[in-house]
């Protein structure tokens, strides 16, 4: 008979999971509050990004069980994620060229307003 309790054996119990979930919900509420503040665009971007990074970190550490993995694997996942996000940005240059009508074989025609 197995004594493994599933996800709770990795994270330290149901109470810890519920606390992390409540903290993530509170951070989501904080983002709602920050969204209605009358601050500069870059200040709002910085605040929202900071809150989102904390939320994503908590979710990855507890709900994806990265907190119980070896440090080398966690670093690999972080670097790989940053690489994928950077690689996704590669296509923006082509989309802007298509918008300007400068991309070869582009069927997009900018509207003349």
Q: What is the mean pLDDT of each run of 10 residues along the chain (113 residues)?
A: 56 82 94 92 93 92 85 92 86 66 63 61
Cα–Cα distance, 84 to 110 (Å, whole number)? 31
The predicted structure's pLDDT at residue 10:
60
- Could you tell me the two tokens for 33? 């509050």
The predicted structure's pLDDT at residue 64:
84
pTM of the complete model beyond 0.75 = no
Name, in order, each residue with C-beta under 8 angstroms of 61's C-beta and a sequence gap of 6 or more.
67
The predicted structure's pLDDT at residue 43:
93
Using an 8 Å Cβ cutoff, are 52 and 7 in contact?
no
The predicted structure's pLDDT at residue 91:
67
């Amino acid at each position: 008979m197995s004594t493994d309790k599933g996800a709770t054996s990795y994270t330290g119990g149901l109470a810890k999971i519920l606390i992390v979930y409540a903290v993530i919900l509170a951070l989501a509420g904080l983002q709602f509050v920050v969204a209605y503040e009358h601050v500069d665009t870059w200040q709002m971007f910085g605040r929202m990004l900071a809150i989102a990074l904390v939320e994503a970190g908590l979710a990855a550490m507890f709900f994806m069980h990265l907190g119980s993995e070896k440090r080398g694997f966690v670093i690999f996942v972080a670097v790989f994620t940053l690489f994928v996000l950077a690689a996704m940005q590669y296509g923006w240059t082509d989309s802007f060229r298509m918008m300007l009508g400068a991309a070869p074989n582009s069927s997009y025609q900018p509207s003349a307003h």
